[in-house]
Amino acid sequence: MKPPPTLLSFQIPTLLCLVLVLLLVTTFESTLSSCSWPLISTLFIILSTFLFSISLNYWLVPGGFAWRNYHHYHNEKQTTKLIGPKGFPILGSLPHMGSHAHTKLSNMATSLNARRLMALSLGATPVVISSHPETAREILYGSSFSDRPIKESAKILMFERAIGFAPSGTYWRHLRRIASLHMFSPRRIQGLEGLRQRVADEMMMRMCKEMEEKGVVEVRGILQEGSLRNILESVFGTNGLDQREELGNMVKEGYELISKFNLEDYFPLKFLDFHGVKRRCHKLAAKVTRLVGQIVEERKRGEGFEGKSDFLSTLLSLPKEERLGDSDMVAILWEMIFRGTDTVSILLEWIMARMVLHQDIQIKARQEIDTLIGQNGHLQDSDIPNLPYLQAIVKEVLRLHPPGPLLSWARLANQDVHVDKVLVPAGTTAMVNMWAISHDPSFWDDPWAFKPERFLKEDVSIMGSDLRLAPFGAGRRVCPGRALGLTTVHLWLALLLHHFKWFPAQRVNLSESLRLSLEMKSPLRCLVVRR
């Protein structure tokens, strides 16, 4: 197969057009010399427009100009044709990749009848996107999609050495083994329950204080602060709390840098860093290395770390043959903080928005809790399996508002592969639009309605086995921390409903904004009444 097309290959038709125009002008120079200059200019413009139209026809192919070489060399051999929007010259479908990319791509796939597989161009990057469970399974479980494309900013911020983006191979398999057997094992998650309870108590105290002082609770700020404290103590134990503010600021800056649009991520030109993203990433990476490295060194010099539940102690207590180098340890711990801070808080904000909007469902969930433990009882992780309606609420919010609607961490084809009988070339980025799947009436009855009861009628797994709802991904690259995140969300939601009645302080705005995760565009403000 021919190599993936480069930007130069897309410029060739235009260059040929310009050369042809010059040749025509030179050939007919003697004729044109007897004509007036306005006539010459008009002829030149007509020829230029005509030939430029031909070059546009070269670019404007299904999927966009990044797929032009594919159609030229392979389409005649295909039994199943590649379908996709032609997009804009040079930019392809980049203008659609904003805060509502998931809905625009879903509508585009529906209009083109390409929900199973749609091709598009993001600059010079060829992309395929699945909006169907069957083709999503081929991508997420396929060995040919075991790698992830990585933005330049994420690479500089050391994520290439962490679990999320490390290339498939011996090192990545070693990280996955450490994560599954040690860091996110059921025993390790259980050992962090006391921390989750403590953080929940602190959040509820702050909610009471805000109601007394302001008459309203700013839910987002409290959840973000609680999530940050929870993840920092999960990662570092109490050692990282002194640096909580500094680490929190680093996470915020990292979100900003990675979510910032950068042309260099879509075109093979290294000088397109107009916003100084790379320079700022290098500075942030140096700060992270210094601060996290300092915490690691202090822990090494301190008392024994055997028997402790935090992730740093887990990594330091590994057998010598499994132990990681300090730089790799820093990268992994930094990724844990970065990815673990926003997911829980964003999901809980969506859940509480739904609770204040649907008072009947909130009351039903509270009654389920009271029936189990009583109004004055103490909730524990072990109670959650006995709260099926509460679990159904979490599933329904994940269906309607998946934190990663495009399964943000896309896949990369490491070899030529067929998906749904369509040839996908090596080097192609593959995405799954989970938002499109979870709103598809072909798979969900009344998909726009908030109906937790649907999950009481049918037990749908959200851990990656059922591709109708896989908010944490699936296959080899499934999120390793999904069990810990869900355990935290279930417990905190149960505690918030058990201790408070929730009401809207103003009209609840369910508008979405896609950055790294799918956030509420307007922060949630509530009135809470202690029971």
Which residues line the annotated binding site for heme?
479
Residues 6+ apart with CB under 8 A from 42: none
Instruction: Output the six-digit token pair for 320.
Output: 């010598």
Residues 6+ apart with CB under 8 A from 110: 131
Question: How far apart (Å, rounded) are the C-alpha atoms in residues 480 and 478?
Answer: 6
Question: How far apart (Å, rounded) are the C-alpha atoms in residues 200 and 294?
Answer: 29
**Mind giving me the DSSP string for 273-318?**
-TT-HHHHHHHHHHHHHHHHHHHHHHHHHSS--TT--SHHHHHHTS
* Distances from the Cα of 213 to the Cα of 26, 198, 210, 220, angstroms: 81, 23, 5, 17
Contact 208, 356 (CB under 8 A): no
Question: How far apart (Å, rounded) are the C-alpha atoms in residues 237 and 241?
Answer: 8
Instruction: Report residue 38: phi and psi, to 5°.
Output: -55, -40
Of 382, 395, 402, the C-alpha closest to 456 is 395
Question: How far apart (Å, rounded) are the C-alpha atoms in residues 133 and 142?
Answer: 13
Question: How far apart (Å, rounded) are the C-alpha atoms in residues 156 and 282?
Answer: 6
Question: How far apart (Å, rounded) are the C-alpha atoms in residues 204 and 226?
Answer: 10
Q: State the residue for tokens 């700022």.
A: 280
What's the helix, strand, coil split of the chain in %, to 5? 60, 10, 35
Question: How far apart (Å, rounded) are the C-alpha atoms in residues 200 and 358?
Answer: 23
276: Cα separation from own chain's centroid: 23
Residues 6+ apart with CB under 8 A from 34: none
Residues 6+ apart with CB under 8 A from 141: 474, 475, 476
Under DSSP, is residue 393 helix (H, G, I), strand (E, B) or coil? helix
Annotated binding-site residues read 479
Residues 6+ apart with CB under 8 A from 198: none
Tally: H helices and E strands in the chain: 20, 11
- Tell me how far apart the 2 most distant CA atoms of the chain are, in Å: 100
Contact 134, 147 (CB under 8 A): no
Residues 6+ apart with CB under 8 A from 108: 85, 93, 96, 114, 118, 120
